[in-house]
Amino acid sequence: MSLEKGIIKHLQSALIYEEAVSFYHNLDPRIKLLYLVITFIMISTSSILKLLIILVFTFVLASLYPRIYRKTLYILIGLTPFMIFTAIFVIIFTVAFGGGTLREATLEQVKVFMRVAAVAVTMTTIALSTTPHEFVHALVKMGFRYTYLYTLIITVRFIPLVFNELSDIYDSQRSRGLELEKGGIRERLRKLNAILIPAFVCSLLRARDLAEALELRGFGYCSKRTFYRNLKLKKTDIVFAALITISASMIYLLVP
């Protein structure tokens, strides 16, 4: 499997909701959003020791649904080429023009990798266990207008579909004789136009069909959105929220 195909395949399979019975599937979506917000707040630190503890903490929480580990690995594998390229560029630029040392620049990129890994675990946890409908329901309950939320939710929902489409286009172009694995970096980047342009056109067509479908169903006609199932916080939701909040506070206060 080529590098391009591998990246598409790994990212595609990591962001799809899975129907299952697990702790995270039964967790209130508002608590999952709180978990995501706390993770972003925690990784804003510049202490490498804090980042290491945060990374371990998120991986320990992922043990409540072990499939998160495999899906997180898929995301990290898919992002690795971009992260390595970016890290090398930033290190060279920092040492050559920014006045920093090689050690400092490398340490900063290590922190970036740790932040990405922690966010990848959290995002995978939420993506695997939460449907777009639950996202909308949670945010509407928190006071957001659903007409604005659907733009964000539809974006998240269609990310796996776009990657699946990229995979199909890739296979179609190869069947037509396009050799995407051969040639230098510049030539291979040029050949990617045969994948990216059809994918962009297909995305535009899907957006048009989606807009027409929403209009036919009277989307936005009523300012208040109702749901057939009401969200209620359970004891497990409160305990999990308390756990992550107290843990984050202790990491910030006690770890240097």
Three-class SS of the chain: CCHHHHHHHHHHHHCCCCCCCCCCCCCCHHHHHHHHHHHHHHCCCCCHHHHHHHHHHHHHHHCCCCHHHHHHHHHHHHHHHHHHHHHHHHHHHHHHHHCCCHHHHHHHHHHHHHHHHHHHHHHHHHHHHCCHHHHHHHHHHCCCCHHHHHHHHHHHHHHHHHHHHHHHHHHHHHHCCCCCCCCCHHHHHHHCHHHHHHHHHHHHHHHHHHHHHHHHCCCCCCCCCCCCCCCCCCHHHHHHHHHHHHHHHHHHHHCC
Please enumerate in sequence order all residues whose Cβ is within 8 A of that of 54, keeping only pairs 6 or more positions apart, or say none: 39, 42, 43, 45, 114, 118, 251
Q: pLDDT (tens digit, 9 = 90+) per residue, 97-121? A: 777 788 888 999 999 999 999 999 9
Q: pLDDT (tens digit, 9 = 90+) per residue, 18-60? A: 788 889 989 998 999 999 999 999 998 888 899 999 999 999 9
In this prediction, residue 115 carries a pLDDT of 92
CA 117, CA 98: separation in Å to the nearest integer? 26
Q: For the chain, what percent of residues have pLDDT higher than 70?
A: 89
In this prediction, residue 96 carries a pLDDT of 81
Q: Is the pLDDT of residue 224 over 80?
A: no
Four-CA torsion 204, 206, 211, 215, nearest 10 degrees: 150
- Looking at residues 179-204, what average pLDDT do you find? 78
- Looking at residues 161-187, what average pLDDT do you find? 76
